[in-house]
Homo-oligomer: A and B are copies of this chain.
Amino acid sequence: MADINSKLEIGVTTGPIRGSAKIHVPSPRLPGVAVAMREIHLEPGSGEPPVRVYDTSGPYSDPQASIDIKAGLPTLRRDWILARGDVEDYDGRAIKPEDNGQLGPDRSGGVPPFPKVVTRPLRAKTGQNVSQMHYARQGIITPEMEYVAIRENLGRAALKEQLIRDGQDWGAEIPDHVTAEFVRDEVARGRAIIPSNINHPESEPMAIGRNFLVKINANIGNSAVASDVASEVDKMVWSIRWGADTVMDLSTGRNIHDTREWILRNSPVPIGTVPIYQALEKVGGIAEDLTWEVFRDTLIEQAEQGVDYFTIHAGVRLPYIPLTAKRVTGIVSRGGSIMAKWCLAHHKESFLYERFDEITEIMKAYDVAYSLGDGLRPGSIADANDEAQFAELYTLGELTKRAWAQDVQVMIEGPGHVPMHKIKENMDKQLAACGEAPFYTLGPLVTDIAPGYDHITSGIGAAMIGWFGTAMLCYVTPKEHLGLPDRDDVKVGVVTYKLAAHAADLAKGHPAAKVRDDALSRARFDFRWRDQFNLSLDPETAEQYHDQTLPAEGAKTAHFCSMCGPKFCSMKITQEVREFAAKQNQAPETFLAAEEAEAGMAEMSRVYNEGGRELYIGAGGREHD
């Protein structure tokens, strides 16, 4: 396969995504803005228009782009950022040995530093605020907002006649057509965020909000032995190829700083981190030795590199910790447990909570968005929706308003393990407590009894909470609770979450979501097998499964499938029903119109027996009735 070959050459997965072509849709308003998406072209004979799909894969899937991970991606947003005139470059924080886990001078076991390291990062000029929320509240439509508007529409306007509003949106306000002004308003109100650190100009702007397409996040982490930096970068490239909208780098141990630099310089999607992980490394892994100074230093380090959002577990307050004592699985969030340890050891309120406004000052100088962590999320069905969880949620609501007071973007992290009947309460409480700030959940898993299948137990909960209003779904792989995911696990996790997010868009009544389902269903009905593969989330797997039963190339165009075989096909029958109905102009509006129906049936019957009887010789087998 093309991408595999090129991977061997340049170290990361490249090549077009099967059956689709990269296009760039220019903004009619802003010259510099051209939005990347993919177009799936269907069989010429079908008379079907191409289907535009949201594309997270960046330049890696663009045959026109030349990829060199040592140079990094083009700095798409740099001119936009500088044009605003509110940033300055300065001598950045010097790299320290502890940034890479005390990696020795010989760098043994280390990754090489990124060749083109930025020595003079950007930050807001004194007294300035460079957050997208700040611009939005000033009434300014940024190029980032314009990009998001075009990106979310997917040419929706051109599809008007196909657009039927059909869904239950639970109070979401999804417009027929997304305008830049709508994006600005959503960001200004805090109902959406555009994670876009000014030091990550390589990123293609995207929005996380309940009134936009539901997004998904994939987590990656460095390997114990990170000898091959390309494979570290490829974890990100592979995730976005299958549809990850953002990627969280949860690396620990050695090489954290350098690995993150390689990922950021090559990432077209926003990158999130959990700064407390690196801070803990800097104090030798002893939680009680953590200090505000070490944590602050880490925030600056990562903000200068360009991390787009930080998970901050500032809601794990000292008085809430005893509430977890009665739990079956206690505290399962790593960040939450680190802070719980610190609070217990010092019997002090969390410094993340007490220094929150100082943290916000840093966030707004780089436009880093908050992802307020749910350190007390339930780790089992038994602990779902308990006091500890909601106590923290209410505190996150209070912190959201404090961040918004400084025009800093916020999203809220959610559970976890929750049985189906308790999922909606999570969404409703979050919307109420956090003023409709975007919700970002891990699953939730709807049962604990299927380790090895937790991408599915969580995909069920993710689809449901996405429908109810969650803006971004953090993926879970089949290895959850058991081990570290490999390349295949990451793909399965991303595709599972992509289908869950799409199911949520459909149920919310997103006006363009159904276009792809309908195009695929028409292809299925017409036996356009290649179109069916190309329109699916994972064309390779779809084709491979088909070929296991019908390997012959002819079967790709044959008007039958392995379920019924060549001699009998239920879909064929429908085609005649349709032809006859058309001929007889017989499609009564309700099933009560039986009489009129029967009238035409006599004629249908006659034509039918004169006509295509030979179509129906023989029989075949289908796996379900």
Contact of A502 (CB < 8 Å), options: B281, B338, B449: B449
Minimum CB–CB distance from A275 to chain B (whole Å) comes to 10
Contacts of A604 in B (CB 8 A): 344, 347
Q: Is the CB of A460 within 8 A of B457?
A: no
Contacts of A520 in B (CB 8 A): 448-449, 451
A516 lies within 8 A of chain B by Cβ: yes
Given A340-B574, A420-B503, 17 additional A-B pairs, CB 8 A: A252-B619, A274-B625, A284-B618, A321-B601, A325-B577, A325-B586, A327-B574, A329-B574, A332-B571, A340-B577, A347-B598, A387-B590, A449-B502, A450-B495, A451-B542, A460-B460, A479-B549
Minimum CB–CB distance from A467 to chain B (whole Å) comes to 5
Q: Is the CB of A570 within 8 A of B459?
A: no
Minimum CB–CB distance from A99 to chain B (whole Å) comes to 15
Q: Is the CB of B568 within 8 A of A483?
A: no
Contacts of A484 in B (CB 8 A): 549, 562-563, 623
Cβ < 8 Å to B, chain A residues 44-89: none
Main secondary structure of the interface of A (DSSP, over half): helix
A485 lies within 8 A of chain B by Cβ: yes
A292 lies within 8 A of chain B by Cβ: no
Contact with B along A529-558 (1 / 0, CB 8 A): 000110111100110111111100000000
A587 vs B327: C-alpha distance when bound (angstroms): 11
Q: Is the CB of B334 within 8 A of A564?
A: yes
Instruction: Give the copy number.
Output: 2
A625 and B311 in contact, given A319-B591, A574-B327 (Cβ under 8 angstroms): yes
Interface size class of A (residues with CB under 8 A): 35 or more
Contact with B along A234-276 (1 / 0, CB 8 A): 0000000000000010111100000000000000000000100
Contact with B along A567-588 (1 / 0, CB 8 A): 1101101111110111000111
Contacts of A506 in B (CB 8 A): 381, 419-421, 446-447
Q: Which 8 A-B pairs have the closest CB atoms?
A: A330-B574, A285-B619, A483-B549, A347-B605, A319-B594, A337-B570, A391-B591, A325-B581
A447 and B542 in contact, given A379-B521, A564-B334, A619-B252 (Cβ under 8 angstroms): no
Minimum CB–CB distance from A352 to chain B (whole Å) comes to 13
Could you show 23 A-B contacts with beta carbons less than 8 Å apart? Answer: A252-B622, A285-B567, A288-B609, A322-B587, A328-B518, A334-B564, A334-B622, A334-B625, A340-B573, A340-B574, A379-B524, A380-B517, A381-B517, A382-B517, A388-B591, A446-B507, A448-B518, A452-B542, A456-B496, A456-B499, A481-B532, A483-B562, A484-B623
